[in-house]
A and B are shown apart, each in its own frame.
Chain A
Amino acid sequence: MKKVLQFKHKEMEKIIEAPHIEKLIKKDHENKWVAFSDDYKKIVDFSESLKELQEKVGKSKVVYYKVFPSDVVLAP
């Protein structure tokens, strides 16, 4: 078993960091669509609907996300 685990770790090449979006999300963003800059350093804008948000951000390169309330347990 030990040999198998060692082999598996040799095969791994990448560890991808989390985008760390939680630190950017505030109460105002909950239940809304937000657009993050593609480096996840800031929220470009947010809105009730994705269409409205798309119009606000225009051609900017963003990543969209619908924010679930922080005080509710997500049960998908």
Chain B
Amino acid sequence: MWVQFKYEENKPLLNVQLVKGDETFDGLGLVDSGAEMTIAHTDIAKFLGIDELSCSRKPVGGIVGDNANGFVCEVDLYVKYLPDALTIPVLFVPNLRVSLLLGHNGFFDSYHIKFQRDSDIFEISRSPLKKYGKK
């Protein structure tokens, strides 16, 4: 089943929950076809009680600005209106100027996503491959 979402101005935003253990972060994530993986602000890692020292380190760079060092941790992702929870790797980055980018590794692996900016909608359905599920 395809679910259609309206754009927020020019942004494809989704209402999501990130869950680690007993902690839950409710936020808005930007669907970002340019991001290799899902990227979140380190404030969210602190919110979820994630111990940075137990995570693997990973450098991250964008199209502008300097590279930064982030850390990767598996987190459960729930997207409102979409079926199934996913356990996906999230790269937490300090000084990120947005809260959360939903990128390829994990998120795009799990859903078919169609951007139709001319119609002011984007559409999502669960991939039948189900590469990622909830652990």
Contacts and interface: CB of A to CB of B under 8 A. Distances in A.
Interface of A: 8, 11-22, 31, 33, 38, 49-51, 54, 61-66, 68, 74-76
Interface in B61-100: 62-64, 81, 96-99
Contacts of A64: 25-28, 99
B98 A76 contact: yes
B127 interface: no
Given A22-B8, A31-B97, A64-B25, A15 B121 contact: yes
Contacts of B44: 50
Interface of B: 1-9, 11, 13, 15, 25-28, 30, 32, 34-35, 41, 43-44, 46-47, 62-64, 81, 96-99, 101, 121, 123
